[in-house]
Homo-oligomer: A and B are copies of this chain.
């Protein structure tokens, strides 16, 4: 190794030495992060060791996850900016937490071959839901918090009953007798659900955006997602349950 030859590098050579691209180098010139070198007679840039050192440092900090603005601040500081490094560490920790959370959710979806937008608690039953059911649980996910959605997932995960199928297939013009019969059976089931999950007696209280907003959204969603007969059946279920609690409540 001789130390006498002085080598200069072209933009491409410099970029390759630092494991980056020609355009990145030019970008660092533009934003003032990297000084422009002297030029050859033909206008070609002639980079030297000082530029290589600077570029390697920029790449290192960039790979760690710092923005170019943060890199500029760091380069200008005399002391190591431990605060900035700690802030970066916290950001990375948050990134990791989010990505791990997403992977856990994806694992549930992949296991059940469910669509990508399925909420994990509904992953196991995604196949059994029709279009309306999928729309409805999507709204549930927007209205309730995670714990509540997990509970709701458990409810839907119960083995499909004849009543579920009857509800799904209730024609829009079903007669009142059919609606009433279905409502009676559904009410019985909801009563059992209320035993297991008492918060269901007043679900709007468990909603994120406040009771008022939750009731409005759910009412609108039911009215727009289900057909008129299905809506009447749900109304009847509400009435049947209200009568019960109303009978035993003072001043009802």
A contact residues vs B (CB 8 Å cutoff):
1-7, 16-19, 48-50, 52-53, 56-57, 60-61, 63-66, 74, 80-82, 84-86, 88-89, 92-93, 95-96, 99-100, 102-103, 105-107, 109-110, 113-117, 119, 135, 138-139, 141-142, 204, 209, 213, 215-225, 231, 234-235, 238
Known: A56-B139, A219-B7. A117 touches B85 (CB 8 A): no
Let me know if A116 and B1 touch, CB within 8 A.
Answer: no
Let me know if B92 and A219 touch, CB within 8 A.
Answer: no
Residue numbers in B under 8 Å from A102 (CB-CB): 63-65, 88, 92
Known: A209-B17, A221-B52. A89 touches B116 (CB 8 A): no
Task: Pull 21 A–B residue pairs with CB atoms less than 8 Å apart, ordered by A.
Answer: A1-B204, A1-B215, A3-B234, A4-B219, A7-B216, A7-B217, A7-B220, A17-B209, A52-B139, A53-B135, A53-B138, A56-B139, A60-B116, A60-B119, A61-B116, A65-B99, A66-B116, A85-B106, A88-B106, A89-B110, A92-B102
Let me know if B103 and A220 touch, CB within 8 A.
Answer: no
Residue numbers in B under 8 Å from A213 (CB-CB): 17
Residue numbers in B under 8 Å from A142 (CB-CB): 17-19, 52, 56
The answer for the CA separation of A97 and B55 in the assembled complex, in Å, is 24
The answer for the CA separation of A2 and B60 in the assembled complex, in Å, is 60
Known: A80-B115, A115-B74, A135-B49. A86 touches B99 (CB 8 A): no
The answer for the CA separation of A123 and B110 in the assembled complex, in Å, is 42
